[in-house]
Chains A and B, each alone.
Chain A
Amino acid sequence: MKIEILREKCVGAGNCVELAAKIFGQDEADGKVVLKSAAEIDENPDVRQAAMLCPVGAILIDGKAP
């Protein structure tokens, strides 16, 4: 699965970090999401749920905000 972050949309809710802390981090300076993994990773249900939980759709999985 391909992960893409739209940082300009991120409001720092942190749902992604709670769901998949190995993949998503949070910039302590502005609270915005940081991708800790490669953009292409193996299928990961936690990452899919993290993308779904992003309240603003800042995480795209295979080009779409779930």
Chain B
Amino acid sequence: MGRESERLEKWPFARECPVLPPGAYAERRSRCPISQVELWDGSSAWLLTRYADIRAALRDARFSSDSSVPRFPAPNEAIAAARRVQRGFVRLDGEDHNRQRRLLAPYFTVNHVQSLRPLVEEKVNALLDAMETHGGPVDLVECLAEPLPVFLTCALLGLSSDDSPYLLDRVKTWMSADSKAEDATKAANDIIDFFRRVIEIEAANPTGGMVAELIRQHVMEGDISQEELLWMLHLLLVGGFDTAANMISLGTVTLLNHPHELAQMTADPSRVTKVVEELLRFHSVAHFTAGRLAKEDLIVGDQAIHAGEGIVAPLPAANFDPAAFPDPERFNPDRNARTHLAFGFGIHQCLGQPVARLELSIVFAQLFKRFPTLRLAVPESDLAYNNSMIYGLRRLPITW
């Protein structure tokens, strides 16, 4: 247990199967559930592998989420660099964090999000109409998985849906592994400029909606600065984009691979809730979340961790712990998957989770209803997975 005398294995671990977590999590969990790993920069961190430990650590205020500090555990150099310039409240601790998050909480209540249902249904239908008109094969990522979350973010923020295509283009360019570095940087800056303009416009001529309300009720009251608001809006876009998009694409493949469970869902649409929860657990797309730094000496499980030491508490490791989810590698919508940690845990648990659940439940219900003969247009072995901060598919050629 604890520090090992042999050279430390580097994290992140490789996946043997593209739709399952690395086997090394299960191996460590049974042999040494809290152990050291080496990170990209040669530093070491404690790797947690048990659901109970990951859950406890993420809820523990003695761990910091401030990824701007140089020692903060990160999966690779690019992500470390990106997180260092992150200024949204995802990297704040304690009351600094809570103060900002709470300003957004009213826009993400269960009731408020449910009120978006007609809008989401209409948009999903429109995107499916376009697919049908075009005829197969199409790339589901381009036609559905990516446009929908950006549209939703615009709707949540009270922006015009006319802004959606521009924002989608900028986000895709910024996040794409295929983009040249300078194009990605320009796209990232364009997104910041876009939100700056939105704030300026709403401050001068409020149109109503979230941004105008936040400016009137909080920026003008001195609760937050305009700069803080800017980074909040940015975080809302980033937090909800490739997470949802990748869940749509990966979820589609998994349902195609489980025709029995798919048939059960089409026969009984009330099952979509269970299907969505199990897909969230099964895919755990935020697979490099969560790193933390200990602010003081503490104990996790039976391991003493010292102030300043980093931990890596991967969500897929928690979600595939057989102690929490028996036979975890089986996609089983009838299990109680609701206790999964796909949205994280603690004060930073995903603010957008009700939105994610809403859009995923509508997408999977409508997609397979509209295209009952949906199938892959390429061999599954041809699918290209995107092993970036959020796991997913670059393209998903489908037909019907």
Q: A residues engaging B (CB < 8 A)?
A: 11-14, 17-19, 26, 28-32, 49, 52-53, 55-57
A27 to B349, CA, bound (A): 19
Residues of B near A49 (CB, < 8 A) are 338-339
16 contacts between A and B (CB under 8 A): A11-B105, A11-B349, A12-B101, A12-B105, A13-B349, A13-B351, A17-B109, A18-B110, A18-B354, A28-B106, A28-B111, A31-B108, A53-B338, A55-B58, A55-B347, A55-B349
A59 to B53, CA, bound (A): 20
A18 to B101, CA, bound (A): 20
Residues of B near A13 (CB, < 8 A) are 349, 351, 353
- Chain B facing A: main interface SS: helix
Contact residues, B106-143 vs A (CB, 8 A): 106, 108-112
Residues of A near B7 (CB, < 8 A) are none
A56 to B339, CA, bound (A): 14
- B338 A11 Cβ-Cβ under 8 A: no
A13 to B344, CA, bound (A): 11
Most chain B beta carbons < 10 A, residue from A17, A53, A55: A55
Residues of A near B351 (CB, < 8 A) are 13
Residues of A near B106 (CB, < 8 A) are 12, 28-31
Interface presence of B295 (CB below 8 A): no
A1 to B297, CA, bound (A): 34
Residue among B112, B347, B353, B354 making CB contact with A28, cutoff 8 Å: B112
Residues of B near A52 (CB, < 8 A) are 339
Interface presence of B303 (CB below 8 A): no
